[in-house]
Amino acid sequence: MTMYSIQGPCHWVGDKSETAPVSSVTEAMTRIDKLYEAGTPFFTKQSIREVSKQLQRSSLCGDKITVKGVDGVGVEFDVLTGETRKGFDSGAFEHEIQDPYIVYCARVHMTQSLLRWHGNLQEATCSLRIAHWMSRRKKDTKEPACHYALRESQVVRESFRTSRESWEASQMCKDLGSTLESIPKTLNIEKVLGFSCGSMSIDRTSSRSEFQHALILTVREWLRVRSRSGRIPCYVQDPVYTGI
């Protein structure tokens, strides 16, 4: 089961004449904050589509995926598909690197990673990044080795119902409603997209994931009522999703 993730090396590419890459954590933090406060979109259909097309064309080991930072600076990520890494817990296991996927990094994630781990300056201003899940397997037989316990579908269903009720009764949910009410009625929103909400079936992370999915449903219901529409499409995706 693919639970660990890894990111390959990355480096700046392209023309740096207009916007120079950041040279320090402080500069990166300042640039990210200024772009956010100026209303610069961190996720656009075009940027996601461009990266997605590259992943669809080729994702072999040694390939390069080019991503543009929010500041317009180009960053090239190395693809590691098929490589193996030593197991983190025992010499009896190893991890095979799977196909690359897109990591969506909000402003908070970008700044917190810089503060907490001093970050990688090459990717500091990238809201889209490339990473890989790694499949844990037995070193000798190559058989898959599950690391985290998964909950049964009925357990997940009941647990999510309880978490959703708790979320809808919370002050944070009420505050979200107030924020949504401030959206101009002239703004036509026809669908809801959710990224990286986590898996509700993984026992150790289920609570956080359940509340995040409940938030998505709150937004959808609010849109349905406001637009007086019988149906508002809602889509979510996360590489960690299981069959449940």
Q: How does pLDDT run across 45-73, given as a tens digit for each residue? A: 999 999 999 999 878 899 999 999 999 99
User: Is residue 147, in this structure, part of any structural domain at all?
Assistant: no
pLDDT digits (tens, 9 = 90+) for 145-168: 766 677 889 999 999 999 999 999
Residue 172 predicted with pLDDT over 70? yes
Domain that holds residue 162: 153-237
* pLDDT-derived band at 100, boundaries 50, 70, 90: very high
Rounded to an integer, the average pLDDT of 117-140 is 88
Choosing from 84, 111, 138, the residue where a domain stops is 138
Nearest to 68, CA basis, from 56, 80, 50: 50
Residue with the two structure tokens 């991503």: 67
Choosing from 98, 114, 138, the residue where a domain stops is 138
User: Is residue 244, in this structure, part of any structural domain at all?
Assistant: no
Same domain, 120 and 44: yes
- Choice between 243 and 141, residue whose per-residue pLDDT is larger: 141
pLDDT digits (tens, 9 = 90+) for 202-240: 776 678 899 999 999 999 999 998 887 778 999 988 767
- Exposure of 84 by Cβ count < 10 A (0-12 exposed, 13-18 middle, 19+ buried)? middle
User: Is residue 48, in this structure, part of any structural domain at all?
Assistant: yes
User: Is residue 144, in this structure, part of any structural domain at all?
Assistant: no
* pLDDT-derived band at 16, boundaries 50, 70, 90: low
Same domain, 92 and 174: no
pTM: 0.66
Report how many domains make up the chain. Answer: 2
Assigned token pair, 41: 């979109």
pLDDT at 188: 84
Same domain, 130 and 167: no
